[in-house]
Structure 1
Amino acid sequence: MEDDARLVPRSGLLQTATNLSSPIKDAPGHVDDKSNPYKPQIDKYEVNQMFEKKFFYQKPSGEDGWKLPKPDEMFAEFYQINTLQELKPKLNKVKSKLNDYSIEDWSLHTRRQDPSNEIPWRLKNETKAEFVTIAWCKFFECLHSYPLVKGPHLNSLHLCELPGAFIAALNHYLHSTFQKSEVRWRWLSTTLNPYYEGNPSSGMISDDRFMFHTFDNWLMHDDFTGNIISRNNIEQMQEQCKQRLENNVQLITADGSIDCVDAPDCQEEVVASLHFAEITTALSILADGGCFVVKMFTLFESSSVCQLFLLNCVFEEVHVFKPATSKRGNSEVYLVCIGYKKETQYLPELLQKMKENVECINILPLFPKSHLPTDFLLQHEICARLFMNLQIEAIESNIQAYEIKPTRRQVIYKQHLRTHTANEFYTRYKVSCIAEEDKILFSCPNTNENCKSKPFCKGSYSEREMAKDTTMEERIFALHRTMNNLEKMLDLNYGMNFHEESENSSKSIPEFRIYRGALFTELLSSLFVHPFVIQFHQKLKQILGRDPIFITAPSCTADDMKIPINNDKTRSFSLLPRQFLIQLLGTIYEKQPRKIVFSNIILLTHLSVSVLRFLALYMYEHLNISTEPEFKIELQSKRDKFTKEQISTLKKLHSLLVDDLNILCILPIDKLHRNEFANALTNHNNQLLLKNFKLALNN
C-alpha cells in the first residue's frame, strides 16, 4: 500500500477494530489445531476489520460549528477540490487493470474470493430469513451497527427500493429485536415502476416478486413512473407521508444506483443527479430527530463534497460505512445520518431551492467553495482516501488471486475465513429466526424471482468499447450471436398452447382498478416479455434504425370483420395504437362477435394486456394462446349475444378509454402477473419477438 494509504485521522475520526474483542474463537467451526498444516489459524484482526470499515465526521461545537450558508449563495459557482481530483486517476488506473477481464469470469471470481459470501447462504438456508439478498445483509449490518431504530414503533420510507430487500431486513430486525406485541411499524416505498412501460429497462430492476404482493405500499405518484427526480413527485410523496404516516417518518433509506458498466470511470458523476434527488426527498420528509441511510460511491466530486457538508450541518452525526457484505472491490459506501435537525437555520429555504433544481441535468455544487470549512475538507479527504485505498487493496488482491493459481493451503484458508466471517456476522449481530407469520409475504403464493439468468452484458470492457467502432456487417454478426445466446438462455416453451375455459354464467362484473399516469409514445420496458429480449430490442432498433417489433404484419378479426390496426411502421414506437383498442371494444359492443382472433400481435403494455384479460374473464368463455403453427390469440363465446350487464360494462369501459387518455391499465395488477395466463402470454411474446428479430437481421 502506498504512503497515502497510511494517512489516518486524528483520534476518534476513524473507528478501527484494533481493540475489539472477537467472539470467533468460541464460534462454531473454530479451528485451533496448530499441528495440522491444512487447518490454518484465522487472523481475528482480519475478520474484525471487515466489519469495521467506518468513518465519522467530528464537528466543532458552539460558534465554530459548521453552518449552512444563506440560500442566495447556493448554486453560485463551479469548482473542484484539487486534492480529491488527484485521487480519481489513481483509482481509475487500478480499475483499468480490469478492462480486459470478461465480466462473467471476473464476477464469478470475485464472488468466490469474497470472505462474506457464505453469509447470504446461511441466512437463507439456516435462518430461513425472508427475501435475503446482498442488499438485505448490508442494511441488516447498518441496523445493528448504528442506532437507526429507537424503539418498536416506527414509520419508514424507502427510496429506490426495488426489489425490496431493505424492507424485509428491517422487518426481520424489528421482529428479532422486539416482542411481536410491541411492534408497530408502517412503511411506504417508491422506485422506478416496472409496471410502467415508459421507464427504461436499463434503469430498473424487473424483479417484482415483493412489490407484487405489497403494491399498495408503493408510491408511484400521479405520473405512475415512480421517478423521484421530479419536483412534483417529491411534493406528492410529502403529502402521502403526511396523510398515511401522520407526517412522522423516523427512518428513510435510499439504495439507488444507475448501471455504470460501460462508464466505470464516471460512476460518481453518472449517479450525481439521483443522489441529489434522494437527499432532497429525505430532508423534505424526515421527521425531527429521524435517521437517513443513503448509498453513495466515491466522494471526489464537488457535488458529493457539498452533499456531505449539508448532511453534517443538519444531522447530529454522519457516519460513512462499508458493510462487510458489501463487495470489497466496488466503490459503494453507506452514509448513516443520525439525529435530523429539522429546524436548522436556512434549511427550509435551501430545500425549496433544491426542489426547484432537482430536475436539472448538470447542476452546480450546492455551496460556494469558500464556505466549506478547512477542517471539514481535511476530514472529507481522509475519508475519501480511506475508502479508495480499501477498494484498491481489494482489486489488487483479486487480480493477484485471478492470475496466480492458489495453493491448497490458500484455498483452505479462504474456506475457513468465509466460515469465520459468517460466524462473526451471526454472533456480532445476534442473528436469530423469526416466526413465519411475522414475515411480510407470509402465506403469499408464487414469490419466485421472475427472471433468473446470467447478465445480459457480456465480455470485457475493452471488447465492448472496440465493438462501438465496428462495421455494420460486424455489428449484425454480433447481433446474430447474441440472438443465439438469447434462445439458449431463455426457457422458451416452443409449441406450448395455453387454453382457458370458463362458463359464461360464472362470469361476474369486473372490479375495474384504473391506473393513470403520464402518456408515453415509445416502449422502453415491459414485464410481459423477458428483460433481455427488451434490451436486445433496444439495441437492434438503434443499429438498424427501424423498429423490428411489427415486421410480421399483425392483424385482428372479429368473426369475419377485419379491425384495422393502423400501425405506422415509419414511426419509432413499439405500441399497439390506443385507437385500435378503442375500436376493438366498439366493434364488440356493436356487433357482438362470437370469435376474436389476434394474429402476430404482441401485447406488451398493461393497457393492451388488461383489455385482453378483461375480455377473457368477463366476455368470452374460451381463451387460446398458441405459438404453433401460427402465433394467435383467440377469444371465443358459445353464446350469440352478451348479457345486458356485459354490454353495459363494455360500454362503460369504451367510454373510459375514449374520454381519459391517461389510463394505463384497467384491472388490478395481480390479475395480470404471476399466473398461468401471464406465463403463456410472456412465452408467446418472447417467441414472436425473436422470430421478428431474426427476420429483421436477415433483411
Structure 2
Amino acid sequence: MENTTQRLIPRSGLLQVATNYNRPSKEHFRYESRSDNKPSKMEVNRVFEKKFHYQKPKENTWQLPSPNEAFSEYYQFDTLQQLKPKLNDVKCKLNNYTIEDWSLHTRRQDPSNEIPWRLKNETKAEFVTVAWCKLFECLHAYPLVKGPHLNSLHLCELPGAFIAALNHYMYSTYKKEEVEWRWLSTTLNPYYEGNPTSGMITDDRFMFHTFDNWLMHDDFTGNIINRNHIEQMQEHCRKRLEDNVQLITADGSIDCVDAPDCQEEVVATLHFAELTAALCILADGGCFVVKMFTMFESTNVCKLFLLNCIFEEVHVFKPATSKRGNSEIYIICIGYRKQTKYLPELLQLMKENVGCANILPLFPRSYLPNDFFLQHEICARLFMNFQIEAIEANIQTYEVKPTRRQVIYKQHFRTETANEFYARYKVCSIAEQNKVLYGHQATEENCKSAPFCRGSYTEREMAKETTMEERIFSFHRYINNLEKILDFNYDIQFQEEYDTSTPELHIYRGAPFTELLSSLFAHPYVMQLHQKLKEMLNRDPIYMLKPNCIADDEEMQLNLNMHGYSLLPREYFIGLLDTIYEKQTRRIVLSNVAFLTHLSVSVLLSLALFVFGHLSISTGPNFQIELLAKCDKYTQDQMSALKRIRDLLAEDANVLCIMPIEKLHRNKFANTLMAYNNQLLMKNFKLALDN
C-alpha cells in the first residue's frame, strides 16, 4: 500500500468544507461597520458549527485488520507531526502571560460566556458547569439518545455535570412518565487518600448524594486504568443495567498546564483505557462520546480509524461552550457494531495493554487507508486552525485596549450566542422533582482547584531553577496569602454530646496505601501545599509539632515514624482500643494529631457515637481533640462496640472506613474537623520551613 502521508486529492467537497471553516468569514472582519453594531446571523452560527464528519467509502474498505497485527510497529506521520510545531509556536506566544489574567481575559472574550449564567439563573438547571453545557450541546446536535428508555455509563465523570445535563435533556425532551433512565459512573475516588490531589477533581457535591451509583472497584480507587477494573465494570453493568448500556460518555483529562506542548502524549494512557472500557461495555447499536485533544500522534490516528470501523457514524465536534483557545474536541460515535469481525479478539488485546506506559499504535501503518488518513489530516488541520484563530484573536484583544464599539459588539455577541443556544436546543426548565438531587439539601463546593499554578509559564519554569532560600521565601509568602484567603485566624471550640448506641457501621474496603496523597478532611489548597513542601523538603512536614495521647492520666506513645508520617498507623488505633477496653478509660486527649483519612476519622467518630458520648475539638491554646465518657462504667453494648471495631482493624488490612460516608462529610462535625486540620497543618508547615 502507498505511503499514507502522501498528498492526495480529496473526494469532492471535503477540502472545500475545511477551507470554509479555516478562514473567518468576511463578516467577521466587518462588524465595526454594521449600523446596529451587532453580529450577523452567520457569525453566531459559526460558533455552533465547528464540526467534522468522517465520510466512509461506499465499498466499505475501512475494516479491522487481524489482531495478530496489533501493537506491532512504531511510526509517526510526517504531515501531522509538522502541524505540532505550528500550533506550539502560537501557544508559545502565551508563555509570558500570567495564567490568572489570561484566564479572566479569555472568559470575557468567549462568546458563549453568558450561557452558563442564564442556565443557572433563568432556567434554574441543576449543577450547571461548562461541562454541563458541552454535553447538552452534544445531545441535541447528534442522535445520541434514541428514546425515553436509557441506560448510561459515565467514565471519569466527577464532579457529575454530564449526569445532570443528561437528566435535564431526558426530562425536557420526554414526558416524566415516559422516562426510564438508569446510570452508573466511575471516577478517581476523592474519598480514597491514596489518590493524588493533582490527578483528580475533589468536588464531591454531586457524588456525596449519589454514591451508590459510583463504581469504585475492589480497591476503592476508582482508577479506570486497570484491566481488572474494566472487567469489574462490565460485571456491574451486566447486573445493574442488564448488560444494555446504550450511551457511554468519557470526559477524562489530565492537567497539562505545565506541559502544554505534550498534552496529547500525557493523556494517551487515560484515553486508551476509556476507549477500551467503553467498547467492552457498550451495547450493540449504542453511542459513545469521548473527549480528546489534538490528533497528531499515530496512536490517536489509529483510535479514530478503529472507531470508524466499528461505528456507523463518527463525528468530531467542538461545542460552542468549549473554550475556543484550547484543543478540546469531542468524538461522537453513533451506532456501535459490536459484532464487527476481529473486534472481540482486538478488545481482549487492548485490555491486556491497559496501563502500559508506552503503547504502540494499535494498527500497522500499512493498514490505514489513504482516503481515511487524508480525511483525518483535514480534520486535524481544521480544529488546529480553529484554535490558532482563537488564540491570535485573544492575544490581539489582550494587547490592544478595545474601543467602546468593540465592547458593545462583544456584549451583543454574547447575548446573541446565548439566544441561539436557547433557540437551537429548545432549552426549557424542568420540574424540581425531576432533578437528580431533588430532596437533598444544596451543598456548597468546598473543594475547588488549588491555586498552585500561578504566574506565567515562563515564570514557573524559571522558578524551578531558584535556590532553596528563594523557594522557602516563596512558600512563606504563599502561606501568608492562603491564611488570609481561608480565614484561619480564629480559635475553634467545638463540643458535641451523643447518646451512645449500638454501632451502625458501614465497612468500605480497598487497597491499603502507605502514603497520604490527598484528603477531603483538609482544604485542597492546604493538601496541595503539603505535597509541594514534601517534594521540596524530602520529608513529610505534617508532624513538626510533637503529637501525643493521654488516656486518663497516662501518656501513650504515638509512634508516627512509620507509613511516611502522614498516616495515623492502624497499629496505633488497635493499641488505643485495647487500652480503652482493658482499662475502661474515661478520658482520651489527643494533642497535635491531624485526622486526615477516612479510617482515622471514622474511628474517632465511632468512639464518640458508640462509646464515650462526648467529643470536643479545640485549637486554642493547644490543638486538642478530647473524648470524654458520660458514665462511670461502660455498658455491655459499649464494650461490644469497642471489641467489634478493634477486631475489624486487626483482622482486615483492607478496611479503609467503618462509618457511612454521609456521616463523615458536610455536617458540623466534618466542617469543624476540617478547620482544625487546616490550622494544625499550616502551623506545622511554617515550622518545617523555619527548620
Q: Same fold (TM over 0.5)?
A: yes
Residues 483 and 489 in structure 2, CA contact (< 8 A), matched pair in contact too: no
Query: What CA distance in whole angstroms lies between the structure 2 residues aligned with 1:561 and 1:455?
Result: 43
Query: Residue 18 and residue 617 in structure 1: after superposition, are their counterparts in 2 closer, same or farther (change >3 A)?
Result: same
Give the corresponding residue for 1:648: 640
Query: What CA distance in whole angstroms lies between the structure 2 residues aligned with 1:78 and 1:97?
Result: 32
Residues 548 and 593 in structure 2, CA contact (< 8 A), matched pair in contact too: yes
User: Paired residue for 2:625, among 614, 629, 633?
Assistant: 633
- Alignment of 1:690 with 2:685, yes or no, is no
Runs (5+) with no aligned partner, structure 2: 1-8, 22-30
Give the corresponding residue for 1:30: none
Q: 1:65: Cα distance to partner?
A: 2.2
Q: 1:508: Cα distance to partner?
A: 2.3
Q: Which amino acid aligns with 1:300?
A: F
Give the corresponding residue for 1:216: 212
Give the corresponding residue for 2:13: 11
Give the corresponding residue for 1:41: 38
Query: What CA distance in whole angstroms lies between the structure 2 residues aligned with 1:69 and 1:621?
Result: 67
Query: Residue 264 and residue 328 in structure 1: after superposition, are their counterparts in 2 closer, same or farther (change >3 A)?
Result: same
Q: Deviations over 1:34-83 (max 9, x none)?
A: 9996x413211111011010001011133x42011111101101100110
Q: Which amino acid aligns with 1:641?
A: K
Residues 202 and 448 in structure 2, CA contact (< 8 A), matched pair in contact too: no
Task: For 1:384-395, list aligned pairs within 5 A.
Answer: 384-395=380-391
User: Paired residue for 2:417, among 421, 424, 429?
Assistant: 421
Give the corresponding residue for 1:560: 553
User: Paired residue for 2:606, among 608, 614, 617?
Assistant: 614
Give the corresponding residue for 1:263: 259
User: Paired residue for 1:595, among 587, 612, 618?
Assistant: 587
Task: Find the residue that maps to 1:587 and give its secondary structure.
Answer: helix
Q: 1:539: Cα distance to partner?
A: 0.8
Query: Residue 462 and residue 35 in structure 1: after superposition, are their counterparts in 2 closer, same or farther (change >3 A)?
Result: closer
Query: What CA distance in whole angstroms lies between the structure 2 residues aligned with 1:491 and 1:446?
Result: 23
Give the corresponding residue for 1:550: 543
Q: Deviations over 1:523-576 (max 9, x none)?
A: 00000001111111111111111111011111111111222221117x634111
- Alignment of 1:531 with 2:528, yes or no, is no
Query: What CA distance in whole angstroms lies between the structure 2 residues aligned with 1:356 and 1:270?
Result: 20
Q: Which amino acid aligns with 1:284?
A: C
Q: Deviations over 1:444-477 (max 9, x none)?
A: 0142111357733110000000011111111111
Query: What CA distance in whole angstroms lies between the structure 2 residues aligned with 1:546 and 1:591?
Result: 36
User: Paired residue for 1:326, among 322, 325, 332?
Assistant: 322
Give the corresponding residue for 1:25: none
Residues 79 and 302 in structure 1, CA contact (< 8 A), matched pair in contact too: yes
Q: Deviations over 1:467-498 (max 9, x none)?
A: 11111111111111111121122143621211
Give the corresponding residue for 2:97: 101
User: Paired residue for 1:518, among 511, 523, 537?
Assistant: 511
Task: Find the residue that maps to 1:634 and give its secondary structure.
Answer: strand
Task: Find the residue that maps to 1:623 and give its secondary structure.
Answer: strand
User: TM-score with structure 1 length normalisation?
Assistant: 0.94
Matched residues, number: 674
Give the corresponding residue for 2:233: 237
Q: Which moved more, 1:549-558 or 1:668-677?
A: 549-558
Give the corresponding residue for 1:461: 457
Give the corresponding residue for 1:285: 281
Query: What CA distance in whole angstroms lies between the structure 2 residues aligned with 1:16 and 1:140?
Result: 25
Give the corresponding residue for 1:82: 78
Task: Find the residue that maps to 2:440 and give its secondary structure.
Answer: coil
Query: What CA distance in whole angstroms lies between the structure 1 residues aligned with 2:342 and 2:227?
Result: 20
Question: Percent identity of the aligned residues?
Answer: 72
User: Paired residue for 1:487, among 475, 483, 495?
Assistant: 483
Residues 164 and 210 in structure 1, CA contact (< 8 A), matched pair in contact too: yes
Give the corresponding residue for 1:60: 57
Query: Residue 391 and residue 160 in structure 1: after superposition, are their counterparts in 2 closer, same or farther (change >3 A)?
Result: same
Residues 299 and 384 in structure 1, CA contact (< 8 A), matched pair in contact too: yes
Query: What CA distance in whole angstroms lies between the structure 2 residues aligned with 1:272 and 1:35?
Result: 46
Runs (5+) with no aligned partner, structure 1: 1-6, 20-32
Task: Find the residue that maps to 2:612 and give its secondary structure.
Answer: coil
User: Paired residue for 1:113, among 109, 120, 125?
Assistant: 109
Query: What CA distance in whole angstroms lies between the structure 2 residues aligned with 1:165 and 1:250?
Result: 19
Query: What CA distance in whole angstroms lies between the structure 2 residues aligned with 1:169 and 1:554?
Result: 47
Task: Find the residue that maps to 1:619 and give its secondary structure.
Answer: helix
- Alignment of 1:577 with 2:569, yes or no, is yes
Give the corresponding residue for 1:449: 445
Query: What CA distance in whole angstroms lies between the structure 2 residues aligned with 1:491 and 1:67?
Result: 61
- Alignment of 1:347 with 2:339, yes or no, is no
- Alignment of 1:680 with 2:672, yes or no, is yes
Q: Which moved more, 1:215-224 or 1:621-630?
A: 621-630
Q: Which moved more, 1:614-623 or 1:326-335?
A: 614-623
Q: Which amino acid aligns with 1:428?
A: R
Residues 446 and 674 in structure 1, CA contact (< 8 A), matched pair in contact too: no
Give the corresponding residue for 2:24: none
- Alignment of 1:476 with 2:472, yes or no, is yes
Give the corresponding residue for 2:155: 159
Task: For 1:154-193, list aligned pairs within 5 A.
Answer: 154-193=150-189
Task: Find the residue that maps to 1:288 and give its secondary structure.
Answer: strand
Residues 201 and 449 in structure 2, CA contact (< 8 A), matched pair in contact too: no
RMSD: 1.8
Query: What CA distance in whole angstroms lies between the structure 2 residues aligned with 1:43 and 1:455?
Result: 39
Query: What CA distance in whole angstroms lies between the structure 1 residues aligned with 2:63 and 2:487?
Result: 58
Query: What CA distance in whole angstroms lies between the structure 2 residues aligned with 1:583 and 1:354?
Result: 47
Give the corresponding residue for 1:205: 201
Q: Which amino acid aligns with 2:118?
A: R
Query: What CA distance in whole angstroms lies between the structure 2 residues aligned with 1:96 and 1:540?
Result: 29
Q: 1:616: Cα distance to partner?
A: 1.3
Q: Which amino acid aligns with 1:50?
A: V
Query: What CA distance in whole angstroms lies between the structure 1 residues aligned with 2:18 and 2:611?
Result: 68
Detail structure 1 runs of 4+ shifted over 6 Å in the superposition.
12-19, 33-36
